[in-house]
Amino acid sequence: MGYLNNSVVTVDAILTKKGRELLARGDGSFRITQFALADDEIDYTLYNTSHPSGSAYYGEAIENMPLLEAFPDETQVMKYKLTTLPRGTAKLPILEAGYASITLKQGASLTITPQTLNFLGTSQAYESSGYTVMIADVRLLSNFTGVGIQTSESERLNQTTTLGTNVSKTVIGTSINISGTTINTLYGASSNTLTSTITIIGRDSGARITIPIKITKVN
C-alpha cells in the first residue's frame, strides 16, 4: 500500500478480492451496475474555522492530506459511504443486528433480522430495499440465505454456490437465515472453533455493521 500524489487528479481503479472472485467464475455474475462514494480517509476535525487566512483556507489541511492507493480488501474499504439525507438531519442511521457477536454450534441455526435506527425519521425499523449481508468465509455455514426481498438479484445471490474454498458469499434480504457447518474436516487437529465475520449494509441508508461469528465443533 502506498500514497497517491494529491497534486494531480488520479483515478486508481482495481478489483476487490470479491470482484476477482466473481470475475473468475465466468458465469456472468461479475456485473458492475452501481457505484458509491465514501470518505473513509477524511478527518473532518481538521476543518479549521479559525484559520488566520480566512474562509478560503478552512479546509486547507484536509485538502493537503495524502490519499491511500486503492486496496483490494472489500471488508476494509469504503466503510463510510456518502448518502443523501433530508436537510436538518441530526442523527445518522445506525444498524442494530441484535448481536454483538454470534457463536453457533455445528448444525445450529439462527435468524438475523437487522434494524435501522434514526433512518428518515420513521418508525419503520427495517429498510424497504433490505440489507446486503456478506460472510467472509462461507465454509463456516451450511445455510446462508436472505429472505424478505424478492428481486432477480436477491434470487440469484441466494442460488449462488461455492466450491468449498475460503471465499465470501453475499445475500440480500430483510432477514438472514444461517446454519453452522457440520463438516468436521474444516477444523484443525487442535482447534474446536472456526471464526469469520458477517458484514451487514443497509441498501437504503448505507449504514453498516460487522459482527464476528464463531462455529464451535460438537464432539
Sketch the domain layout of the chain as residue ranges.
1-82, 94-216
Is the domain spanning 94-216 CATH 2.60.40.1080? The answer is yes
Assessment of whether the complete model's pTM goes beyond 0.85: no
At position 185, the amino acid (one-letter code) is: T
**Which is higher by pLDDT, 185 or 164?**
185
Take residue 195 and report the three cell numbers written for it: 471464526
**Which is higher by pLDDT, 214 or 21?**
214
In whole angstroms, how far apart are CA 201 and each of 40, 65, 127, 182? Answer: 16, 28, 10, 28
pLDDT at residue 79 greater than cutoff 80: no
pLDDT, residue 65, reads 83
Q: Over the stretch 133-179, which tens digit does the pLDDT of each residue have? A: 999 899 999 999 999 988 877 777 777 665 556 678 889 999 999 99
- Cα 39 from Cα 44, distance rounded (Å): 10
pLDDT category at 14 given cuts 50, 70, 90 is: confident
pLDDT category at 198 given cuts 50, 70, 90 is: very high
pLDDT, residue 25, reads 80
Q: 87 and 121 in contact (C-beta within 8 Å)?
A: no
Closest CA to 77 of 170, 139, 15, 25: 15
Q: 80 and 39 in contact (C-beta within 8 Å)?
A: yes
DSSP state of 91: S
The position carrying cell 455493521 is 209
pLDDT category at 123 given cuts 50, 70, 90 is: low
- Beta-strand ranges (E) seen in 58-203 are 67-68, 94-96, 102-105, 109-112, 115-117, 131-135, 141-147, 169-173, 175-180, 193-202
- Average pLDDT score, the chain: 85
